[in-house]
Structure formats: structure tokens, C-alpha cells
Amino acid sequence: MATDQPGMAAVPTLGGGPEDLAAPPETGRPSLWPPVPRRVLIIRMVIGVVLAVAALWAPFYFEPAMNRVLSQAIYIAIAAMGLNLLTGFNGQVSIGHGAFYGVGAFTSAILMIDHGWTFEPTIVVAAVLSAALGVLVGVPALRVRGLYLALVTLGLAVLFPLVTQKYVDGSGGVPLLRPPRREFASLIDGLADDQWAYFLSLAIMVVLFLLAWNLVRGRMGRAMIAVRDQEIAASTVGVNLAATKVGTFAISAAYAGIAGSLSVMVDKLADGTSAILYFQRSIEFLVAMTIGGAATILGPAVGALVLVLLRRNTQDLIEGKEVLAPALFGASLIFIVFVLPEGLVGGVRRMIASVGRRSSATGRPPTHPPSDDSHA
């Protein structure tokens, strides 16, 4: 399956300065989503079923604190998927998704606190507002590319908490919004609040991942990928560049906004106190996407899970030398990138593919294999 793969760069170059790092690809349209051998399909289905069972069983096995961590992995996965659509599939690099996430979080918190809304409907508004901001950013992004786009979006993430610090006035005079906890109470008898938060997040994630899967396999997805790999060529064959790029930006931002909204349910607050929190979030989304596997469907979820588990365990690992926790975390990231350059999902998929093929595949694997996983 990999042999007929066009040699495309996984992600756009961060160049745009003096040189262009992208390898010139010869795009062959029909081969974008090649058929999958049966053996590979079976292995994938088995993995899928195992993951699904694990995901459904986990919240009954773990303590509430761990369920919260898992729920955090879910909302980070959603945002990382948003970023994946933009960066992985469409080639626009953003380090500003923390800001869209923040807009989602504060939208939900403000609607609940100042307008008496109950939580669930605020998710929709959060998605809409974030998408609107996404359009606002996406339009100038038509002119700004690669490295420069990364920097402009970085600015967005830096700016966001300053804006909340200036304009949000929560209880106690701090820019911290805490909707009443009872507003997040479980709606299903027999599910504790933490389990409810987990399952609601999970359900939303599954829906959004299916939508993303559907999107990238459809017309829009072909346009997105074509724009990523050869923008000018794509425009000559009738892809509407502006609509594709701005549209992707909006959808991507909406995903991040929904993630932010869910974070209010999981963490019970929207935090505007820290100047670097939303920059950190942006980085986390990027990290989850990359270590999971850019331009894959399952990648963001796997990456997010690994990310939160790493973060949690590096904190407890070193009693007495807590200042080192970020170093361990950083070192783990570097390690993963070294061992699995295509991300965890990419690496695993290559293993499965080689099992499926039996015959040895020589030569370098493509920078990223096509993505045709369904879901977990």
C-alpha cells in the first residue's frame, strides 16, 4: 500500500524564508486513499475493538482523579484533531490553537455564570464563536504562510490570556471563572459526575473524529490535501484556495473551541490568570498531534493520551526534585520523536502494514502514510 504513495511532505515546511524544504511531489490523485489488504483490515478492526472496550471500561475502573486525567486527554485530543485538520491535512501551521480553545472555555463559562445557561448548549455556542474567530484569522492567513503563520498564531496565544486578565473579572477579583459544580452534575442515574464528564467528552470526541474522517476522505479533504502539497498546482485544477483554507481554519478552530468548552466541564473552571497557559495549550495540541502522528485520524487521540499520562507521571516521579518534572517531560518528547518519527500511530501502522504485506518493503517509507483508519 505504501509503494504507490506519492512522496509528499507530511506537513508543510516551516520554511518560507530563504529556502523551501518541501520535496516537489508528483501527486497522483486516485492513489490518495488506496485499498487496504484484508489482513491489515482485520488487525485494525481488532485493535479498534480493543480500544473501544478499554475506553468504555476505563471510567469504571479508575478513581475520579484518573478519570479527570482521561477526560483531559479527550479534550486535548479533540483540539489536536482540529489542529491536525489544519496542519496535518491542510498544511497551515498554527501555534495559536490555545487561543481558540480559550475562547471556547470562556464562552461556556461566561454563558453559564452571567446568563444562567446550563452547560451542554454552551458547547454549540463555543464552537460557533471559535469558528468565527477562526475565519477572522484564516483570512489574513491566506497571505501569511509557513513560519510566519506559525508566529502570527503564536501571538494569538500570547495575547489571549492578557485579554482575559484585562477584561474578565471573576469572583475574588481574579480572572478565573468557576461555574457552580452542580451545573455539571451527571444526567444519567448510575453514572457519577466524573464518569458523566468522561462519557460526554468521549461521545463528542467520537462524533468529531468521525466527522473529521469523513471530511478528509471527501471532496473537501482532497482539496485540503492538494492545497497542502501543491498549492499553486491545486489552484490551477480548480480548487478554490481561499475557501478551502479559510474553511479549514474555521473548522479547526471550532474543534479547539469545543475542546475548551469541554475543559470547563472537566476542570470546573476557565482560567485566565496565567500568562503562558494558552501558549502551553497550543504546544500541547501540537505535541499530541505530532507524537500521535500528523495527518492520521487516530493520531491526535493516542498522542493526547500519551501526553497527559507523561505529564502526570513525571510530576510524581521525582520526589524532592520536582523542578525537574518539565525536563523529564521534554526529554520524553524528544525520545518519542527520535524513536517514532511518524508518530505513534504512524509507527504502529507501519508495523501492521509490514505484517500485512509479508513481502519486504524496501526503500524509505513515505513521510506519512495515507490515513484511512476509522475510529476507536
Partner 1 sequence: MLRSRKTRVAASLLTLALLATACSSRDDSDDDASTGGDEDAAASSDIPTEDCVSDPTAEIEGDVIKLASSYPQSGTYAAYSEIARGWKAYFDKVNAEGGVEVGDRTFQIEYTDKDDQYNPGQTSANIDEMFGPEGDGAFAAFSIVGTANNVAIRETLGEMCIPNLFAATGSPQWGNPDYPWMLGSTLSPYTLEAKVFADLLAELKPDATVAILRQDDDFGDAYEEGFRMAIEGTDIEVVEVQEYNAASGEVGAQMTTLAGTNADAFLNGAALLPCPSALTAAAEAGWKPITWVSGTCISKTLMGIAGEAGADAYAAANLMDPLNPDWDDDPAMVEYLETINEYQGADFDPGNAIVGYGYTQAAIFVEALKAAEAPTRLAVMESMHNLDGISDVGLLLPGVSVSTSPEDSFLGETLQLAQYEWTTPDESHFVPQGDLLEFEGETAEHSPEELING
Partner 2 sequence: MQLFINQVINGLGQGVVFASVALALVLIFRTTGVLNFAQGEMALFSAFVSWKLTTTGMPVVVAILLSMAFSFVAGAVIERTLIRPMEGRSPLNVVIITLGLFLGINALVQLIFGTDPQTMPSPFPRGSVPFILDTRIQKDTIGLLLVLLVQCLGLWLLLNRTTIGLKLRAVAANPDSARLHGIRAGTMLMFGWGLSAAIGALAGTLVAGERTAIDASLMQVVLVYALASAALGGFGSVWGAVVAGLFVGVADSLTKQYVDALDGIEVVLPLGLILVVLVVMPNGLFGKRTVERV
- By CB under 8 A, name the binding residues for partner 2: 9-11, 13-21, 24, 87, 93, 140, 143-145, 147-148, 150-152, 154-156, 158-159, 162-163, 165-166, 230, 232-233, 236, 276, 283, 286-287, 290-291, 294, 321, 323-327, 329-334, 337-338, 341, 367-368
Tell the smallest beta-carbon distance from residue 102 to partner 1 (Å).
12
Tell me how far apart the terminal alpha carbons of the chain are, to the nearest angstrom: 22
- Residue 332 near partner 1 by CB under 8 A: no
Q: Which of partner 2, partner 1, none does 13 bind, CB closer than 5 to 8 A by kind?
A: partner 2
Closest CA to 87 of 153, 157, 18: 153
The answer to whether 99 and 156 are in contact (CB under 8 A) is: yes
The answer to whether 96 and 285 are in contact (CB under 8 A) is: no
**Contact with partner 1 (CB under 8 A) among 22, 325, 340, 361:** 325
**In the chain, where does DSSP find H-type helix?**
38-61, 64-83, 97-115, 119-141, 146-167, 193-217, 219-229, 231-236, 241-267, 277-292, 299-317, 325-339, 343-357
The answer to whether 80 and 101 are in contact (CB under 8 A) is: no
Q: Which of partner 1, partner 2, none does 7 bind, CB closer than 5 to 8 A by kind?
A: none
- Residue 360 near partner 1 by CB under 8 A: no
The residue (of 175 and 370) whose beta carbon lies closer to partner 1 is 175
The residue (of 216 and 287) whose beta carbon lies closer to partner 1 is 287
Q: Would you put residue 15 in left (φ > 0), alpha (ψ -120 to 50) or beta?
A: beta
Residues 107-166 contacting partner 1, CB under 8 A: 112-121, 124-125, 162, 165-166
H or E element at residue 270: strand 270-271
Whole-angstrom distance, CA of residue 333 vs CA of residue 7: 26
Tell the smallest beta-carbon distance from residue 85 to partner 2 (Å).
15
- Residue 53 near partner 1 by CB under 8 A: no
Binding site for partner 1 (CB under 8 A): 63-65, 68, 112-121, 124-125, 162, 165-166, 170-183, 185, 187, 192, 194, 267-269, 271, 273-277, 315, 322-326
